[in-house]
Amino acid sequence: MLKGKKIYLRQIEEDDVNILLLWENDTENWRYSESEAPFSLHQIQHYVKNASHVRQNQQMRLIICLFENDKAIGTIDLFNIDFKNKRAGVGVLIANKADRNKGYAKEALELMCGFASRRIGLLQVFCDIQADNEASISLFENEGFIKTGTRKNWYLYQDEAIDAYFYQKFI
């Protein structure tokens, strides 16, 4: 468990299947996740069962929970973990709008970057952010991520082409 001030990050457990199914199948979350179709209960169960195989999956997803009531409010991921080149992508989801803009994503990102550096030995983390996702741009820039590139018309959303900004942070 990684502990912050208001939140903690913990491993995925079997009891998380239903909440993950809900979050993964929330079409509002698809806007920024590149999901195109709903996940089945079986798919989520399989994912949860194998989530601890970080090297094999090249991914680590942790659940973001509030200290005050142990409520699960989102996830944070390291993905495309490249152990040779010591880098990984990072993404964060605060699932419910009522829990956003309270500093939880900031704290989760700080905890995950520290863990990635100290425990996994990564040297950098990166992310792609859609150009119209102002909240994520602000979050990552405030956490020291540097915009190092733009991918023109990288995403399509409702037939609208949207640029992607590539961000990196050396940890």
Best CA proximity match to 129, nearest among 105, 102, 150:
150
Identify whether 35 is part of a domain: yes
Q: In terms of DSSP H, where are the helices of the chain?
A: 17-24, 27-33, 41-50, 54-57, 104-118, 134-142
CATH number at residue 62: 3.40.630.30
Boundaries of domain holding 115: 2-125
* Total domains in the fold of the chain: 1
pLDDT digits (tens, 9 = 90+) for 17-45: 999 999 998 878 777 777 777 888 898 99
pLDDT digits (tens, 9 = 90+) for 80-98: 999 999 999 999 999 999 9
The reported pTM is 0.92
Identify whether 157 is part of a domain: no
